[in-house]
A and B are shown apart, each in its own frame.
Chain A
Amino acid sequence: MNRTFQTRDGRLVARLILLAHRFGCDYTELAVTRNAAVFSVSIDFVGNAEALRRLDAQISKLLDYEKEIA
């Protein structure tokens, strides 16, 4: 599963990696580039399909937090 997104909070990458491990998943590729205050992130996750589905939902929720305070 790949998630590609932009964030203004680079710490989010660490949070997602830890979250993946919590769900019994892992990541195989991680790319981050920064342009001014915005981080462009791409992460490839691997793991059990159900765990990846739940991870995907959690990532979307965490990204929504940033929209709430934008």
Chain B
Amino acid sequence: MIAQRLANNGARRVLDTLVAEGVDVAFGYPGGAIMPLYDALYGHDLRHILVRHEQAAVFAAGAYARSTGRVGVCMATSGPGATNLVTGLLDAMMDSVPVVAITGQVKTHLMGTDGFQEADVAAVTQAITKYNLVVRDVSEIEPTIHKAFTLARGPRPGPVLVDIPRDILEAKISGTPAPQDGPTIANAVRESFRQRFPAQAEEIARAVEMIRAAKKPLAIVGGGCRAADAFAEYRAFCALLGLPHAATINGLGAPTPGDPHFLGMLGMHGWKAANRAVMEADCILALGMRFDDRVTGRVDRFAKQAQIIHVDIDRSEFHKIIPAQATIHADLRSALDALTAALAPNPPRFDAWAKSAASHGGPLPRDRAKPGMMSATDVLDHFFATAPPATYVATDVGQHQMWAAQRSRPLDPHHFITSAGLGTMGFGLPAAIGTQIANPEATVVAICGDGGFQMTLHELATLRRYSLPVKILIIDNRNLGMVRQWQQLFFDARYSATNLSDNPDFCALAHAYGVHAESIDRLNDLQPALERFFATNEATLLHCACYPEENVWPMIPAGAAIDEGIESLAGESLEV
């Protein structure tokens, strides 16, 4: 009887269609309206990861996608379950991450009646997803889910929500889903974008002309490199020209690790050499990046000497913030391949300029901790020196995120997972969970601040349940540090609601969830603790009590130009 019920209902069709799309895991949380789907999950091949809050499900799905290039899937019930996905959907939207969210909805006849746990989630998510679809008939389930995956994958990836009323999940349906290519879909789709969005010859010719005419060209790579999986092509292109290059936070990992021509992250907390090169460059190749205000600073002063070549698969990004003298509307791999091919017979070399640009780097400016206290930047310097090269790092949001971004040299763009565009606190731990599920053999670390960690620390239970060996590094400065820094700099040190000196005992919390933890507050104890941290194959938490008033330097104040950075409380100019 039960088998018969499940064999041919809408819920079973949802799961079979997900599997046909190549989905191997979904993150979620059950509830009333989505119960038929969870009933169908019982004994189904699709793996389900039970999180402890729907927001964690969508963050984990996003991180799964960021770390693999495949679509991340999450599911939640109607009403509060669905609205708890909202922040994570917007997070995926801002960073162009392919996510499909399946939400249960109240029965069709109850829609619009303010039924129990009813929310018009289609209206709620309209502006924060690429698209959403409401299924009104059981026969629409399969084509609707295929549409959702098609849209989520691109050309520019993003989140898509599918809302399914409970009666549709329970309705009978005959037949089986049409077989798809399963796990090979992601590669096939990327290849299809390459073919559908080739670089146009005249656009390439114009760009090549500008590059050949340039004396000081600079490449800036963004999240589009991860979305297009174009880092091999990017590295080949930069190497061909001896080009200096910088990355947005979402572009970290695109450069070859150790490339001496890579100037680091640019922007508000970027490296001096990268920001200076932007101001000195006479030609900027903007590759899959969107000139976010955290990158440009004051727009009318950004790269004033440079001609801009903007490459993007999303035409609406052209001239949105920074006018471009040349645009290439194409898949980034296709564009880079075409540029490389056009320049290869007689490539201009920019080694001298690259060497000059890199020479303006120098060490990152930093505050020193009070004697006897440990500085967060010391912790992160030691962390990145100790972490295996292939470590996946998922950060939370705040000062530690910027310190990590400044120091991290990821293997590729899939190895640095961060909430960049939206800046969502609470992202770190669920993101590390999604990354670990997607990459079970990998070393995965969540770097969190004390504030953000407390937003989703309940996911320690998920670590425990699935025996995930995620490592958690907590940089505890007993403050909402980034906001505190801004209050210190721009609000006359009026520290409103940023003091967290009453933080809980993080180790005790971890122990309560069955997760190993230790705490240190002295630099001398750090290296041995890090070595234990990386040696264990179980979930572990390392709590680092740090100097509370350390700031992130350098810093371009909001509204200031990229050459108006400061590097200490005394307001010392960067002389960019």
0 or 1 for each of B114-141: is its CB under 8 Å from A? (1 = yes)? 0000000010001100110000000000
Q: Which of A53, A60, A61, A69 contacts B150 (CB 8 A)?
A: A69
- Give the CA-CA distance A42 to B557 in the complex, in Å: 43
For B318, list chain A residues within 8 Å (CB): 57
B122 touches A61 (CB 8 A): no
Nearest residue (CB) in A for B148 is A69
Q: Is B316 an interface residue (CB 8 A)?
A: yes
- Give the CA-CA distance A22 to B315 in the complex, in Å: 20
B314 touches A61 (CB 8 A): yes
For B460, list chain A residues within 8 Å (CB): none
0 or 1 for each of B314-328: is its CB under 8 Å from A? (1 = yes)? 111011100000000
Q: Which of A11, A18, A54, A65 contacts B122 (CB 8 A)?
A: A11
0 or 1 for each of A36-69: is its CB under 8 Å from B? (1 = yes)? 0000000000000000011001101100010011
Q: Is B464 an interface residue (CB 8 A)?
A: no
- Give the CA-CA distance A53 to B323 in the complex, in Å: 12
A65 touches B126 (CB 8 A): no
Query: Given A11-B126, A19-B127, are A61 and B315 also a contact pair (CB < 8 Å)?
Result: yes
- Give the CA-CA distance A23 to B315 in the complex, in Å: 18
Give the number of A-B contacts (CB < 8 Å).
32
For A19, list chain B residues within 8 Å (CB): 127
Beta-carbon contacts under 8 Å, A9-23 to B: 11, 14-15, 18-19, 22
B151 touches A54 (CB 8 A): no
Query: How many residues on chain A are close to B (CB under 8 Å)?
Result: 15
Query: How many residues on chain B are close to A (CB under 8 Å)?
Result: 15
Beta-carbon contacts under 8 Å, B307-348 to A: 314-316, 318-320
For B130, list chain A residues within 8 Å (CB): 65
B151 touches A69 (CB 8 A): yes
- Give the CA-CA distance A18 to B131 in the complex, in Å: 15
Q: Is B516 an interface residue (CB 8 A)?
A: no
Nearest residue (CB) in A for B315 is A57
- Give the CA-CA distance A68 to B150 in the complex, in Å: 7
- Give the CA-CA distance A53 to B321 in the complex, in Å: 12
Q: Is B147 an interface residue (CB 8 A)?
A: yes
Query: Given A68-B150, A69-B150, A69-B151, are A18 and B316 also a contact pair (CB < 8 Å)?
Result: no
A54 touches B320 (CB 8 A): yes
- Give the CA-CA distance A60 to B122 in the complex, in Å: 21
Nearest residue (CB) in A for B134 is A11
Q: Which of B127, B150, B314 contacts A15 (CB 8 A)?
A: B127
Nearest residue (CB) in B for A18 is B127
- Give the CA-CA distance A22 to B127 in the complex, in Å: 10
B151 touches A15 (CB 8 A): no
For B151, list chain A residues within 8 Å (CB): 65, 68-69
Beta-carbon contacts under 8 Å, B177-231 to A: none
List 21 interface pairs A-B (beta carbons < 8 Å), by A numbering: A11-B122, A11-B126, A14-B126, A15-B127, A18-B126, A18-B127, A19-B127, A54-B316, A57-B315, A57-B316, A57-B320, A60-B315, A60-B316, A61-B314, A61-B315, A61-B316, A68-B150, A68-B151, A69-B131, A69-B150, A69-B151
**Beyond A57-B316, A68-B155: 14 further Cβ-contacts under 8 Å?**
A14-B126, A15-B127, A18-B126, A54-B320, A57-B318, A57-B320, A58-B316, A61-B315, A65-B130, A65-B131, A65-B151, A69-B131, A69-B150, A69-B151
B interface residues (Cβ-Cβ under 8 A, vs A): 122, 126-127, 130-131, 147, 150-151, 155, 314-316, 318-320
A interface residues (Cβ-Cβ under 8 A, vs B): 11, 14-15, 18-19, 22, 53-54, 57-58, 60-61, 65, 68-69
The 10 closest A-B pairs by CB, nearest first: A57-B316, A69-B147, A61-B316, A65-B131, A15-B126, A69-B150, A58-B316, A68-B150, A68-B151, A54-B320
